[in-house]
Every structure is written in C-alpha cells, then in structure tokens.
Chain A
C-alpha cells in the first residue's frame, strides 16, 4: 500500500488540480514529441525518396561495370542471360554511356548519352514513366532520341546557355559523340523526372549506339532489377559464383557519395533539432513542476509534518510528470499520425521529388524513451528541491 501512496496523491492532484495547466502541459509535450519525430521522419523520407529514385531511374538494384582496366564489359549478352536465369531477378538492361554535345538553333549543351534496349529498360527502370511529351523509343529506332528536360529547356523560358532553349518533340538536333561522330536525330520524347541528374541524360537505342561506337555485344554497364530490395549482397555473391568477374556494385555503393553526403548533412540537422526539442521539453516540464511545487510548498511541508516521507512526495510529482508525458506522447502520436496520413496523400514537393514522412518504429521508440527520461529528470529536480526543504520553512516560509 505504501508504494501505491504516491499514486494516490498524484491521481488526486491531477484529478482536482488546475485543469488548464494540465491540458497546456500535455499539449506542449505532445507538440514537442511531434517535433521530435516529424523532422527526422522527413529526413528519412528524403533519403527513401532518393534511394527509390536512384533504383527506379538511375541504377536499379545492382550495376555491373567494367573492371578497372577495361572500358567496356565484353560478352554482355552472355552475362545478361546468366543473370536472368537466377530466381528473383526481374530483368537486366545493358547500356552504353558516352559523352555528347547537343546542338540546336546555334545553342549547344554538353551532357551524357545512354543507349538502351527499350523493352529491357522498361523492366529495369521507370524513367519511361517520366515522359512529358512525345513517345518512348522503339527497339528499331535509329534516328530518334529521348531528351531530358534539362537539355531541351522550356520554350520561351530564358535560361542563358544552360539548355537548348526549348526543343520540342519533332525537332531535329545534332549530337556530337565523344569519338567525334556527328548524327542528326529527331526528338521523339522529352522526359522530366524529379531525380538527381537524370534530366541531363539523353537516350538512343542500343542498335544506334553500337553503330556510332562501332561496338557489338559490349556494354558500359548492366543494370539488374531484383524482385526484393535488400537482397543485393546475396545476389552479388550469386553473380560471382556464376563467374562474373566484372565490378559488381549495389545501389548503395553506386549512390553512396550522392545520397550519403546529403543524408549526413540532414542527420546533423536532425540531431540539432532533437537536442533543441529535448531541451524545450526539459525546460517546460521543469518550469511547470517548479511552479507547481513552489505553489504547494506549504502543502508539502504539511505532508512532511504529518509523517509522509519525502520520497513519497517526490514520487507523487514524478508520477504526475509521467502521466503528463504519456498523455503528451499519446496525443503527439495521434497528431503525427494525422500529419503523416495527410502528407502521404499530399506529399511535400522537394526539388528532388515528392517526399512523405517515413515512420520508423525505432525512431518513435527512441524518442519516447528520450522524452520520458528527460521529463523524469526535469520533474524530479524541482520536486526534490522543494521536498528537501526544512518542514518549518516550507510551512511558514
């Protein structure tokens, strides 16, 4: 019963204390909790968007590249066949990549040109879904090209020399390849994908690129699409066992520099935001409990005078803090759930694409524990200070 005594005091204090103060305290804690998980979940959402876009549009799950001393992968068809036989491999797409300069109406733009087998590429990446004008390439197209919006530019939009100034579908442009070959292509489609770098690419068919480069059955890279993300390491081992000696990179390795630096910058902001939120929580709870205990100093003195132990009194305040904290967390979770649901339907548009908060259970659990621990400390200190005061001084000042 003695251990239940602080609960008795805490319950009565919450039940019959100032309702406005209680509601305000819970509200503040709930907002702090939302702040604690909202920003990191957005950062996680940004990271997830970058990863998803990289996999969907740039490098798929695994990229096979030539060995360090070679420029191209030999026997690309044979490698693709071997890989495609493995269960869990959705498809492969081999690409040639070359530097190129695009000319249109006396404007030029340097960029990167990739070759694709259109049907293979549709299985492996989703960049075809980003077409905003025209059509996707056909396998036999040799005089047509797909251009990213960063190359074409928008008609009527003044952008200086950063693009071709508004190329339209059906227009013809000249392309100078890195080996000096110049070809004239009709623009078949224009794509706009909110993903890093991809809008600076141009695509032609594999057949056309082989005729330009004078190559056959080779590739600059082979993209491999897997049915399940997270199994890349396992497949790397499988590929090596199949005798593939090329450089095999997972999406994580391929995008480490680009995504890693961005995520580490965001992580620093997350840490700062978390620390500030926790300090706010500590300060708010400390002030509330301090004011509460100071106002009840005489009452605490009376309780001590009639024989109620100091620890019991302190515990009753700590229990009150826990109650406020749990209520704040529960309401915070509810608020965050509403915000997350709204943003999942209406994602935030970032320059890199649409981002929705990514809810990680570990993150929520960590922040719940942090908030509880910090709140307990913030509640304990003022309660201890007041309860520690001499009885006569507490009662009569």
Chain B
C-alpha cells in the first residue's frame, strides 16, 4: 500500500539545518492500523506530513499503491489528497462557518458529485460516528470529542485509501479519546480502513496493529 524509501526531510532555518527525517524506509500494508510513536521532536508528525502529501520531502520516494506521489505537481497532489487520503488533525480542524453535515460532505462536493448524494452520504457517516442528532450543529455547538468525530467523518467521506491522524486525541479527555480510538478500530476492522496515526500515549498502542517508534528522525 505505502512504500517509503530513504525518506529525508531537512528544514532550513536561517543558517541552521534541521534534519527532521534522516532516511526512513518503511512499508505499510493495506488494512493496517499503524501508530507512529516517539518523543517530541523525533520526527513523527513530519513523517505523517510527508506520507499525507502535506509537505514535500527533501529526498526519497513515496509510493502509494505503486504510484510515485513524490513527483506529483501541486495540483495533482491536491487532487490526490482529496480523492485518496483522509486527515484528522490534532486540533478540532473543522470549518466554523459550516454545520457538522456541511463539514462532512464538503470534500465530496468538491469531487463533483451531486449535492443530494453528498448530503445523504454525509448523514450516513455522521450517524456511523454517533452524531446523527448533531447534523445541523455549528462548531461552537459541539464538544471537543464531537468536533473530532466530525473531522473523522469528513476524512472518511470520499472513502480514502489511507486515513492519517495526527495526535487526534491530544486535546480530548480520556473518555472522548477512548471513543475516537474505538471508532478508528471499528473502521479498521469492519471496513479494512488503512489508518496511520501519530500518538504519544502508550495506552493507544493496544488499538493498533503495529507501532513504529521514531527517534531522532530514524526508525
């Protein structure tokens, strides 16, 4: 599913070079639920950003389903993210001016599908994540856990090949975190959804199939 070869990412900050990733090679299989762990500054979020095409690696190659995504143009990367990848960010990254339902069907609408189809799909997914009674609620009317579940629903709406989650429980209490992780596990088990999640909580490991430990930009 995902094959990474000798991936490096170096940030230049003035005259200083920061080597966030120092040549990582990795394989992630379809249907796997992977957690990436490591200390702060170990490069786990950087790795996720490279895999999720949110950033461009300094060197190395990323193949997703055999396609070399490192060589895509900005427009192709944008389309690839829209149609093949899903994201759940650490903060509650939903659009404040949209309702829960609108937030969810937004990426599907962008693919050119009929609005009513998008709405129906959005409702189905929101019901599946337990927010069937919060369709028309705006961001400020939802709790942190509910907002994160809206973000998960949005990430799933285009049936992505891979779901990326960057510390999705960082701002949630234990109960909300447990609900989110159980939701991930359910999606992984029932739909064989490939999930790559960055976390720093040890107790999250039990939900995942495999843990990748990063230290100083290396596995």
Q: Which residues does A use to contact B, with CB under 8 Å?
A: 1-2, 5, 8, 12-13, 15-17, 298-299, 302-310, 312, 391-392, 395
Contacts and interface: CB of A to CB of B under 8 A. Distances in A.
Contacts of B102: 12
A330 B134 CA distance: 38
12 contacts: A2-B110, A12-B97, A12-B102, A16-B138, A305-B87, A305-B93, A306-B87, A306-B154, A307-B79, A307-B107, A392-B54, A395-B89
Contacts of A305: 52, 54, 81, 87, 89, 93
B49 interface: yes
Contact of A1 (B79, B96, B115): B115
B6 interface: no
B28 to A, nearest CB: 20
Interface in B79-101: 79-83, 85, 87, 89, 93-98
B114 A1 contact: yes
B211 to A, nearest CB: 24
B82 A306 contact: yes
B40 to A, nearest CB: 14
Contact of A304 (B78, B80, B98): B78
A16 B55 contact: no
Nearest to B52: A305
Contacts of A5: 109-110
Contact of A16 (B83, B97, B112, B154): B97
B82 A392 contact: no
Contacts of A312: 110
The interface centre, meaning the residue of B52, B83, B89 with most chain A CB atoms within 10 A of its CB, is B89
Contacts of A392: 49, 54-55
Contact of B89 (A1, A16, A302, A308): A302
Nearest to A301: B93
| B81, B97, B115, B138: most-surrounded residue (chain A CB, <10 A) | B97
B87 A299 contact: no
Contacts of B137: none
Interface in B109-167: 109-110, 112-115, 138, 154-155
A2 B155 CA distance: 19
The listed residue with most A CB atoms (<10 A of its CB), out of B49, B93, B102, B115, is: B93
A307 B82 contact: yes
Given A1-B113, A12-B102, A395-B93, A306 B107 contact: yes
A299 B112 CA distance: 21
Contact of B112 (A2, A13, A17, A309): A2
B54 A299 contact: no
Contacts of B83: 307
Contact of A302 (B82, B95, B114): B95
B82 A308 contact: yes
Contacts of A299: 95-96
A102 B55 CA distance: 93
A395 B109 CA distance: 22
Contacts of B113: 1
Contacts of B75: 309
Given A1-B114, A392-B49, A392-B55, A303 B109 contact: no
B41 to A, nearest CB: 14
Given A308-B82, A312-B110, A391 B95 contact: no
Contacts of B55: 391-392
A302 B88 CA distance: 10
Nearest to A18: B97
Contacts of A15: 97
A392 B95 CA distance: 17
A187 to B, nearest CB: 78
A306 B54 CA distance: 9
A17 B49 CA distance: 30
Contact of A12 (B98, B114, B115): B98
Given A305-B87, A392-B55, A1 B82 contact: no
Contacts of B52: 305
Given A5-B109, A17-B97, A395-B93, A306 B81 contact: yes
A3 to B, nearest CB: 9
A184 B138 CA distance: 93
Among the interface residues B54, B55, B114, B154, which one has the most CB atoms of the partner chain A within 10 A? B54
Given A1-B113, A13-B97, A299-B95, A310 B78 contact: yes
B78 A309 contact: yes
Contacts of B155: 306
B95 A1 contact: no
Contacts of A310: 74, 78
Given A391-B54, A392-B49, A395-B89, A307 B95 contact: no
A307 B89 contact: no
A351 B20 CA distance: 78
A304 B93 CA distance: 12
A303 to B, nearest CB: 7
Given A2-B110, A17-B97, 11 more contacts: A1-B115, A12-B102, A13-B97, A305-B81, A305-B89, A306-B87, A307-B78, A307-B80, A309-B78, A391-B55, A392-B49
Contacts of B78: 304, 307-310
A304 B54 CA distance: 9
Contacts of A306: 81-82, 87, 106-107, 154-155
A309 B95 CA distance: 16
